[in-house]
Amino acid sequence: MALTTQFLKKNPEAKRRLTAALEKAVHFIEGHESEAREILGRRTNLEPEIAAKCVLYQWIPHPSPDQLRQIQEHADFLHRETLLDNPLSTTPLFQE
């Protein structure tokens, strides 16, 4: 999922609700890993053995300055490798 900075600025309630939903999903995954893997396999048609090896979704709703730096470095890497067409400033994703 990707949202533009412009959308986030114009829709602060959508951003708040999206963040809350992601936090809820992460808490579920952390507390119910085997069930989360079963859901992953069912939703993506993965064999159970493959779903068992997948890295489960992680979200940091309130990253530290060091985590923000790492997230930005990851976005910069994706752009350099042409996996993102345009540079991405990740800071607006985490601003209240």
How much is the pTM?
A: 0.57
More confident residue, 58 or 67: 67
29 within 8 A of 36, measured Cβ to Cβ: yes
The domains of the chain are located at 1-61, 63-96
Closest CA to 17 of 8, 6, 5, 27: 8
pLDDT at 85 > cutoff 80 = yes
Exposure b/e, 66-75, CB count within 10 A at least 16 = b = eeeeebeeeb
84 within 8 A of 78, measured Cβ to Cβ: yes
Give me the amino acid identity at 74: H
pLDDT at 2: 64
Q: What angle, 0 to 180 degrees and rounded to 10, lies between the N-to-C axes of helices 12-31 and 33-44?
A: 110
